[in-house]
Chains A and B, each alone.
Chain A
Amino acid sequence: MTSWLLAMVLWLLTPLIVTAQPNDQARDLFASTEASVFQVRVIDKSTNNKSSTGSGFLIEESGILATNYHVVSSVVDKPEKYRVEILLKDEQPVEATIITLDIVHDLALLQTRPLDAPVLPLAQQEPAKGETVYSIGFPYDLGITVIAGTWNGLAPHSASPRVHFSGSLNPGMSGGPAFNNANEIIGVNVSTAGNQMSFLVPVQSLRELFDNRPAEPLTSFNELIARQLTANNKRLMDEMMAGDWSTVPLAGAHALGEVTGFLRCWGNSKDESNKQDNRPFFATRSCQTDHNISVTSQFFTGKFELQFYWIESDELSPTRFYDYYENVYSQYRPGNAGTKRDLGPWRCEEDFVIAGHTKTERTKTVFCTRAYKKFTGLYDVMFLQGSVDREQQAFMSHFTLSGTTREQALRFTAQFMESGVW
C-alpha cells in the first residue's frame, strides 16, 4: 500500500520536475542579465513627463544600447518636442541620444554614458525550432519581467525577417532582448499578434546595424530613413518582378496568382444559392504584404496590395448596371495611413486605355500618387483599371504601392498592365 502511494506521488511529481527546469533557467537568466536591461523612456520636453516607454539593453561598454525604432520614433520625428532617457536600477534617469536606426527591421541604437552593467553577448547561431527562449522587458511600465516561449524560426512569407516567438509580449517590452539557453541574445522583442503570437527581430539585423554604426550620432535621420525605405522597396520590388506572373481565373476574367511569397492572397464571391438581395454577382481576389513599416505612430508605409474584382448581372440594364459599377469603382482606397505632416496631396492621371494584351478593349484607368514630404524620392501610388466596354459585366484591377520610388512604380505598372490580367 505504501509503495503504491509513493509511486502515485512520484508520478504526480514528474511533470512538476520537468517543468521546473525552464523556470530555473529563467531564474538563472534573469539573475545574470537583469542588470543590463533598462527601461527606455520618451520624455515630453515641455511637461518633463514620460509619454511612452519601452525596453533596451546594453551591447557595448561605452554605453551603447539597442532598442526598437518604434520605441523612440517620436523623438526621431519631433526632436524639438521629445527626448529619450534610460532609467537605471536605482530609478535614476540618464540622458541618451539616438546614434542610428534601422526603420525596416525596427531597430535603433542609443548612446548613453558608460553604465555599471555587463555587456550582453550576441549569439552567433540561431536556436533550433522548438527551443525554449526567454524574453525580458518592462511590460506596461510594471517593472522588469521575464517570459518563456518557443522559438519557431523565421515567419514564412514575411516582407522583412521576423522570428515567430510563441510567448506573450506586451506593450512596454518592445526593444527588450530575447535569449537562448546560453544567455546569448538571439533577437529583439518587437510586436505581438495576441494569443502567444509574438515576433522578434533576428539578432543578425542588430549585428549589421551595430557594425555599420556611424562614429558620431546622426543629427538628422530623414536621409537615412529615405535610403533604407528605398533599398527595402527595391528589394521587395525585385522579388515581385522576378516572381510568378502567371494568371489564375477569376469568374469571367484573369487575376494574378500569389506573385511571390510575401504577398498573401484571399478570395471571396457571392453565394448565389443564398441570395439576400439582387445585387450583381461578384468575385474578388485580394493580395497584400503582411505588415506595414511604422515611421511614426500615425504614419505607416511599405505595404503592397493587389486587388481584382469581377461583377456581372443578367438582370440589370446597362444604365443601371453601370450605376452600380460606378459605386464600386469609386471606392478604392490606398491601404496605408499617414497625416498631413508626412504626405503631400494626391495627384491623379485618368484616361481610357486599351487593356494590355486584349489590344481592343477599353478601360478607364486611374493612376494616383503623392509624395513623402520628409523622404525625398518616395511616393505612395494607387492604380485602378476598370473595363468600360461590357454591358453587364465589369472587371477591375487595382494595386497600391506605398513607400515606392518613381522608377520602381513605373516598372511595376508597366509589368502589371501587360501581365495578362483581364
Chain B
Amino acid sequence: MVIVEILNTTDGQPRYERIDKQQVSIGRAPDNDIILLDPYVDGHHLRLDITDPDAWTISDLATTNGTRRGKEPVQVAQFAPGDQFRIGKTFIRIYDRNFQVAEALSLGDLEHRLLDFNSLGITIGLSLFMIVTGLASVFLSFSGGDIKPVTYIRGVTDLLITPVLFAMAAALLARILRGESRFRPIYNLSLAFAAFAVYVDLVLGVLNYNLPGTTGKGFLTFSINVIMVVVYFWAIMLLTTRLKTVWRNLLTLLFVLGIYGSHFITYYSHRDAFRPFPSYDARLYAPDWLFRSGITPADYQGSLPELFDEADEAAAEDSENEQ
C-alpha cells in the first residue's frame, strides 16, 4: 500500500490518496488510479511499481512536459519512500505506511512555534501592510509641493529595506549555521517587528504629545524600544543558530548592550556640545489627537522661575566641566 501526497502549486493545499495496489497509474484521464486536474499533466503520465519493497520504480509514459525529481528529468528510475517528483505543475510525494515522519512541532517550544510562523498568507499580508504604511506616511506628510511617484517608492523602500535586509542576512546565517535558510519565518518575524515598531512609535508619539515635558525620549518609549529589540534578537538567534540557551541569552544581551552602549557613548560624547538653538518639543498632531485640556497662563508662568534655576545650574555645571 502507498500513500501519495499531491500538491498542486496553484491552490497550495495538499491532498492525500491511499492506494492498495502494486501498480499505480497517475494522469488526467478518468481511468487512472489517481486523477489529476493539472492541465500540464498528460492523460496517462506516470506509473509506479511497488511490487519489490526494496526497489520501487517510477516510469514516465513519454509525456509532453516530462517528470522531474528536483531538477533532473526522469524516464524510469528507482525511488525511495518520501521522494518528491514534479509532473506538470503538481508535486507528488509517495510514502509507505512505515514512513518515519519528522517529530511533531512542540507547542511549548518557541523555536517550533516560530518555525511555523511561515505561511505565505502572513508574508503577503505583512508586506502589503508595510507597503500601505509607507505610502500613507508619504501622503500624510506635507512639505509643500506635489508628491512624485518616486517619493512614494522611496517611502516604501525606506520602511521595508531594514527588515528585508536583516531577514536576508539572518537567513544566510541560518543557512550557514543550521543548513537551512528558514527565510520565510525570519522574514515574517522581521516584518512583524518592523510593523509593530512603526505603530508603537505612533501610539507613543501621541501619548507623549498629550504629556508635554516628556519631550520624545520618554522612559516608556525607551523601555518599549529596548524590550522590542531584545525580543527580536533573541528570536532571530533562536532561528539561526544551534546555540545552547545560556549562550543565546548571553549573545542577545551583548548584542543589545552593544547597540545601546554605542548610543549612550555617542550621547555622552556630545552632551557638552554647544547648541545655539533650544531643542524644544515641536510635535504637533491634528486636534483630534489631543485629549487633554490646557492649563491657565498663570499656572504656566508659575512654573517658569524654576526653569531659570535649572538654566543657572546647567550653566554652572557646564562651566565646571570646562575647567
Contact = CB atoms under 8 A, between A and B. Distances in A.
Interface of A: 277-279, 316-327, 329-330, 333-334, 337-341, 343-354, 356, 361-373, 379, 382, 384, 386, 388-391, 406, 409-410, 413-414, 417-418
A53 to B, nearest CB: 29
B268 interface: no
A418 B215 CA distance: 26
Contact of A418 (B142, B281, B297, B315): B297
Contacts of B308: 369, 371, 379, 406, 409
B284 A340 contact: no
Contact of B304 (A341, A343, A364, A410): A410
A406 B297 contact: no
Most buried by A among B287, B308, B318, B322: B308
B108 interface: no
B301 A410 contact: yes
Interface string B294-322: 11110111011101101110111011001
A329 B285 CA distance: 12
- Interface of chain B, helix or strand or loop or mixed? loop
Given A316-B142, A353-B296, A346 B275 contact: yes
Contacts of B278: 334, 346, 348, 366, 368, 370, 382
A351 B295 contact: yes
Interface stretch (B34-42, B46-54, B110-118, B143-151): B143-151
A409 to B, nearest CB: 8
A370 B318 CA distance: 12
- Closest 5 A/B residue pairs (Cβ): A344-B315, A330-B282, A340-B274, A346-B278, A318-B286
Contact of B274 (A334, A339, A368): A339
A174 B286 CA distance: 54
Nearest to A405: B308
6 contacts: A320-B139, A347-B310, A348-B279, A350-B213, A369-B311, A386-B284
Nearest to A394: B284
Given A321-B142, A373-B315, A353 B297 contact: yes
A363 B284 CA distance: 10
Contacts of B322: 340-341
Contacts of A318: 286-288
Of B143, B280, B293, most buried by chain A (CB within 10 Å of CB) is: B280
A340 B270 CA distance: 13
B297 A356 contact: yes
Given A346-B278, A349-B213, A369-B308, A320 B284 contact: no
Contacts of B70: none
Contacts of B294: 351-354, 361-363
B283 interface: yes
Given A346-B278, A362-B294, 14 more contacts: A317-B140, A319-B140, A322-B286, A323-B140, A327-B143, A346-B311, A349-B300, A350-B213, A351-B212, A354-B293, A384-B280, A388-B287, A410-B301, A414-B301
Contacts, number: 172
Contacts of B145: 277-278
A363 B288 CA distance: 14
A168 B304 CA distance: 47
A391 B287 contact: yes
A11 B323 CA distance: 74
B217 interface: no
A316 to B, nearest CB: 6
Contacts of A345: 275, 311, 314-315, 318
A348 B281 CA distance: 9
| From A363, A369, A417, residue with most partner B Cβ within 10 Å | A369
A277 B280 contact: no
B296 A379 contact: no
B304 to A, nearest CB: 6
A258 to B, nearest CB: 24
B301 to A, nearest CB: 6
Contacts of B305: 406, 410
Nearest to A417: B297
A351 B300 contact: yes
B301 A417 contact: yes
A390 B288 CA distance: 10
B71 interface: no
Given A278-B144, A346-B275, A350-B213, A370 B311 contact: yes
Contacts of A321: 142, 286
Contact of B311 (A319, A325, A371, A386): A371
B8 to A, nearest CB: 46
Contacts of B286: 318-319, 321-322, 391
A305 to B, nearest CB: 14
A353 B295 contact: yes
A401 to B, nearest CB: 13
Contacts of B213: 349-351
A353 B292 CA distance: 11
A352 B280 contact: no
A343 B282 contact: no
Contacts of A277: 144-145
Contact of A388 (B279, B290, B301): B290
A149 B312 CA distance: 47
A365 B311 contact: no
A326 B292 CA distance: 19
Given A354-B295, A354-B297, A363-B294, A348 B144 contact: no
A278 B287 contact: no
B277 interface: yes
B281 A366 contact: yes
B10 interface: no
Given A333-B277, A369-B311, A323 B142 contact: yes
Given A320-B140, A338-B276, A349 B290 contact: no
B13 interface: no
B98 interface: no
Nearest to B287: A389
A317 B285 CA distance: 12
Contacts of B295: 351-354
B301 A413 contact: yes
Interface in B109-147: 139-146
A146 to B, nearest CB: 41
Nearest to B286: A318
Contacts of A352: 212, 290, 292-295
A353 B284 contact: no
